[in-house]
Structure 1
Amino acid sequence: MTFRLQFLSWLLPLVALLPGAPVHALTLHYQAVDLPDTIAGSDLWRYDYQLGGSVGSFESVNLLYSPMSYSDLDLKSALDSSRWSSLVIPPDPAGPADGILSLTAVAPQGASEQTNFALEFIWLGSGTPGTQPFELLDDSFNVIASGSTVPLGAPAIPEPGSLPLLAGALGWLAWQGRRRL
């Protein structure tokens, strides 16, 4: 093997060890609560949410609500305005465009912090409302992570961390070095 190829075989794994984009372990738990119906023919519900995980300044969490299943979205709990900015966009069945609950972090949220909030809505679907998709957007509105909400009490599946990736890269380097001996 030429020196050049040998050098590249050692350089490529080292590039994998360089710091890259942050790994986000965001959890979003919900509990669906059936509320007394105030308008005949409508099925009023509330999601009680618990948001946990790291969110950087001006990153946004967007929850998405299908126009086939949801209408009349109404954020019911006031979030701390020094930490969060919120926006509710109702679903548009004529579009059809998903409804969005967007929460933007005004200040960074630490991994151990938890934010609770509630959203009332009219349920148009059958059965009981379930999980909702969500996206984490960076300050340039690029989707950097996505997932689905998890029922309260169910274990969340964490995103892969960087330590196992680092351990794998170091193991591969050790294996390569041993193979050459």
Structure 2
Amino acid sequence: MKTLTEKSALKWFMALPLICSIDATQAVTIRYVATDIANTTLTEDLWNYTYFIDDFEFQKDQGFSIEFDLEKYTSLKNPLAISESDWDPIILQPDISASLNGLYDVLALVDTPSLTSSSFSVDFVWLGGGTSSPGEQEFSIYDGNFQTIASGATLPTIPVPGTATLIFLALIFGRRKMLTNF
């Protein structure tokens, strides 16, 4: 006779493939990697953001903007889009006197520009202090008329275990649980 614990474990194991296939993310995801890079002066804390976009198919004249809070960032530079023939990146500096956040803006130059191998990056000076590091930022995706069609916050790039890894862990956990019940 199966115990309640064995039945529960079996149900979870049977539901695991379904759970792994559910996409709980927002419709458009912009992920980032923040990298502390070598400082060129003692008074500036230089960093780099590299961005990756998921779940959106851009058309010509659509683009995205990522905000740089004027109290946390300054000296935005080196805006890059790996596929320069598909994308046009620009930066607008944060302006304290006008109370304007900075922007990293990238415009699609062609329909369906490549995202699979493209990443986008920008260097900046972090004003958050030595004990903190840059984090999520607000973004918007706009159409050819510069109307916002999606928005959200960037997410850190965190390795997510694949389905096979999750099944393997479930088997180990289930096996261990059965052995401790005897």
TM-score interval w.r.t. the shorter chain? 0.5 to 0.7
Query: Number of paired residues?
Result: 132
Secondary structure of 2:152's aligned partner? strand
Gap runs ≥5 in structure 1? 1-23, 156-181
- Retained in 2: the 8 A contact 1:131–1:150? yes
Partner of 2:45: 43
Equivalent residue letter for 1:134: F
- Retained in 1: the 8 A contact 2:81–2:88? no
From 85, 100, 105, give the equivalent of 2:103.
100
Please list, as runs of the form range in 1=range in 2, the aligned pairs for 1:4-23 lying within 5 A after superposition: none
Partner of 1:56: 59
**Residue identity (%):** 28
Does residue 86 (structure 1) correspond to residue 104 (structure 2)? The answer is no
- Retained in 1: the 8 A contact 2:33–2:156? yes
Cα 1:132–1:114 shift into 2, 3 Å: farther
C-alpha distance in 2, partners of 1:154/1:93?
36
Secondary structure of 2:118's aligned partner? strand
Root mean square deviation of aligned Cα: 2.1
C-alpha distance in 2, partners of 1:81/1:151?
24
Partner of 2:72: 69
Runs of 4+ displaced beyond 4 Å: none
- Retained in 1: the 8 A contact 2:47–2:126? yes
Cα shift readout 1:99-119 (whole Å, capped 9, x = no counterpart): 111101111236973521221
Cα shift readout 1:43-89 (whole Å, capped 9, x = no counterpart): 11111211233112111100110110000111353532321111111
Partner of 2:137: 132
Deviation at 1:37, TM superposition (A): 1.4
Greater alpha carbon shift after TM alignment, 49-58 vs 109-118:
109-118
